[in-house]
Amino acid sequence: MSQDLDTVFAALADPTRRTILAMLLEDDMAVTDVAEPFEMSLAAISKHLAILTRAGLISQEKRGRVKWCKLEPDALRAASVWMQGFGQFEPVNLDAFERFLQVELPPADEA
């Protein structure tokens, strides 16, 4: 698992790759469409896509003559779980907190 995490975090370390992932949140995209907003060659974008693919963060498939990229959000699950281990606080469940207060604190007219 450590090597998988290393691969994911290495892929996420680059701002171009993070931008590509954000773009793919919207929908699958052709490689040429992914490359369009960047001022780099298609070969350079292809290298970024290969790194994201190796990390399992995206998948690529050929549809006709066009290569498409698709986000694979489950690949971030292990990294997310690992990072949550560093959180200092659990998320607050406001409904449970309200029930706790109702049990523990007397109503304002009784106080």
pLDDT at position 54, please?
A: 96
pTM higher than 0.85: no
> C-alpha distances in angstroms, 53 versus 3, 84, 91?
15, 24, 32
Q: Which pLDDT value is given to residue 103? A: 73
pLDDT confidence of residue 7: 93
Q: What pLDDT score does 9 carry?
A: 92
At 110, which amino acid appears?
E
Is the CB of residue 76 less than 8 Å from the CB of residue 8?
A: yes
Residues facing residue 67 across a β-bridge: 62
Average pLDDT by stretches of 10, the chain with 111 residues = 85 95 94 96 97 96 95 86 71 69 65 51
* Per-residue pLDDT, 28: 96
Domains by residue range for the chain, with CATH: 2-104 (1.10.10.10)
